[in-house]
Amino acid sequence: MPRRAHPPIDLRSDTVTRPTRAMRRAMAAAVVGDDVFREDPTVRRLEETAATLLGKPAALFVPTGTMGNQIAVNVWTRPGQEVILDERSHILNYEMGTMAAFSGVLPRPLRAADGFPAPEDVERAFRPPVYYLVRTGLVTLENTHNMAGGTVCPPRQAEAVAAVARVRRIPTHLDGARIFNAAAALDLPAARLARPFDSVMFCLSKGLGAPIGSILAGPADFIDEALRVRKRLGGGMRQAGVIAAAGLVALRDQVDRLADDHANARRLAEGVAAIDGCAVDPARVPTNIVIFELAAAGARAATVVTRWQEAGVLALAIDDRHIRVVTHYDVDRAGIDRAVASLARIMTGVTGKGRRRRA
Ligand code: TLP
């Protein structure tokens, strides 16, 4: 096997980031206690910091984004109710049917081009108040929207969706796994994007680079109940300060550099758009996720991903024609350029095309 000049360029997800040196130092030095007794000072400090950043009264540290979302679904709903969400949302597609299995609720998926249902569509999805019809228990939005390509919800649209729910006293939850990416793209505080929603989840373990952990934030009585549900799910952790310490560093050091990941994603999209047989509109890449289409006849995503991997670049085939790449702080601009150059060579092999089009 020839030795590779560079380590692999891992663009499968921003979850692959490894803790920074500052995070490892903070983890080693963390003051800890038993968090099931709520005695871990580092966890409590992280929860307070996160609540403040999101403009919510309280917050809870949870092991994963999935658990944070599913706790919210469980606390807000009753079995037999419907949850209104986008048809490509993470809660519906990538959380293993937990809303049905654990909370006994039905999804009510809506279609939306950018991943954000219009307030009129949400309004239409509410059933008339007739006793024998199913009731809506929760409305959720995802921002940024992963499978729509890291799209950012216009704040007015989020406010309008939350407003139609509020009129009917239906709670709202934001899957804000990448809310800080949305905030960076809009140059607004995350609290502004969280404001319309009763509860919000965000991940420390994605672009912010912490090794483990997410935050669920909302009203104090909601978080009291969320604490019980977290324990029920087996998410009560003990000396969790060792990981919360990394989360605190993530919030201190990593938020302001997310814009670099966005610039790299745009650069990657521009490079990919210039390759024959690949299609993506770089103007529609606002954050760190690029989903491009294989437009050339005969090109299959799985084949291209395998060849790219052989060349040292990791990406995800999301269906037969689409490939997702995600930028993060472990891949710099030079890595992005190498990834694009290698894709151009592969596309030449796959389609006989692949030459870079002249601008
Ligand atoms: N997303 C992961 C995969 O599960 C797809 C990724 O690589 O993007 N909400 C959103 C919008 C997410 O993108 C994810 C993870 C989650 C929730 C769940 O977070 P975890 O993986 O911590 O359970």
Query: Does the beta carbon of 65 sit less than 6 angstroms from any atom of ligand 1?
Result: yes
Q: Which of 282, 273, 320 is nearest to 301 (CA)?
A: 320
CA of 325 to the centre of ligand 1 (A): 14
Give me the sign of the Cα torsion angle 94, 199, 178, 211: negative
Residue nearest atom 5 of ligand 1, based on CA coordinates = 94
Is residue 2 scored above 60 in pLDDT?
Answer: no
Cα–Cα–Cα angle for 47, 12, 324, nearest 5°? 110
* Residue 146, ligand 1, Cβ within 6 A: yes
Task: Write the CB contacts of 281 (distance below 8 Å, at least 6 apart in sequence).
Answer: 269, 273
Segment 92-100 long-range contacts (CB within 8 Å, at least 24 positions apart): 93/147, 94/66, 95/66, 95/69, 95/70, 96/66, 98/66, 98/70, 98/73, 99/70, 99/73
Measured from the Cα of 63, ligand 1's closest atom is 22
Q: If you average pLDDT over residues 175-181, what whole number do you get?
A: 98
Of 93, 203, 327, best ligand 1 pocket probe by most atoms within 8 Å of the beta carbon: 203
Tally the residues of the chain: 359
Identify the residue whose C-alpha is closest to ligand 1 atom 19.
Answer: 65
Q: Does ligand 1 come within 6 angstroms of the Cβ of 49?
A: no
What would the pLDDT profile of 250-271 be if each residue is shown by its tens digit?
999 999 999 999 999 999 999 9
Domain ranges of the chain: 9-16+257-351, 21-253
Q: Is the shortest distance between the CB of 63 and ligand 1 below 6 Å? A: no
Cβ 149 under 6 angstroms from ligand 1: no
Assessment of whether the complete model's pTM goes beyond 0.85: yes
Asked whether 90 lines ligand 1 (CB < 6 A), one says yes
Report the nearest-CA residue for atom 8 of ligand 1: 13
Ligand 1 neighbour 151 (Cβ under 6 A): no
Ligand 1 contacts CB of residue 98 (under 6 A): no
Q: Does the domain formed by 9-16+257-351 have CATH 3.90.1150.10? A: yes
Q: Residues 290-343: pLDDT tens digits?
A: 999 998 878 899 999 999 999 999 999 999 999 999 999 999 999 999 999 999
Kindly indicate the confidence band of residue 219, based on its pLDDT and cuts at 50, 70 and 90.
very high
CA distance 265 to 106: 35
d(CA 339, CA 315): 10
Verify whether ligand 1 is closer than 6 Å to residue 93 (CB atom): no
pLDDT per residue over 62-112, tens digit each? 999 999 999 999 999 999 999 999 999 999 999 999 999 999 999 999 999
For the segment 98-151, what is each residue's pLDDT rounded down to a tens digit?
Answer: 999 999 999 999 999 999 999 999 999 999 989 999 999 999 999 999 999 999
Look at residue 160 and give its three-state secondary structure.
helix
Q: Whose CA is nearest to atom 15 of ligand 1?
A: 65
For residue 333, give the H/E element and its range: helix 333-351
**Domain 9-16+257-351 and domain 21-253 have a common topology:** no
Mean pLDDT over all residues of the chain?
Answer: 96
Atom index in ligand 1 nearest the CA of residue 13 equals: 7
For the domain made up of 21-253, the CATH class stated in words is: alpha beta
Confidence of residue 359 (pLDDT cuts 50, 70, 90): very low
> How many Cα atoms within 13 Å fall on the side-chain side of residue 280?
29
**How much is the pLDDT for 329?**
95
Q: Is 203 in the pocket of ligand 1 (CB under 6 A)?
A: yes
Q: Write out the DSSP string of 3-20.
A: PPSS--EE-S-GGGPPPP
Ligand 1 centroid distance, CA of 177 (Å)? 7
Query: pLDDT at residue 4 above 70?
Result: no
Q: What Rg do the C-alpha atoms of the chain give, in angstroms?
A: 21
Res. 358 pLDDT band, cuts 50 70 90: low
| pLDDT at residue 296, rounded to an integer | 81
pLDDT tens digits for range 338-357: 999 999 999 998 765 555 66
Q: Answer yes or no: is the C-beta of 94 below 6 A from any ligand 1 atom.
A: yes
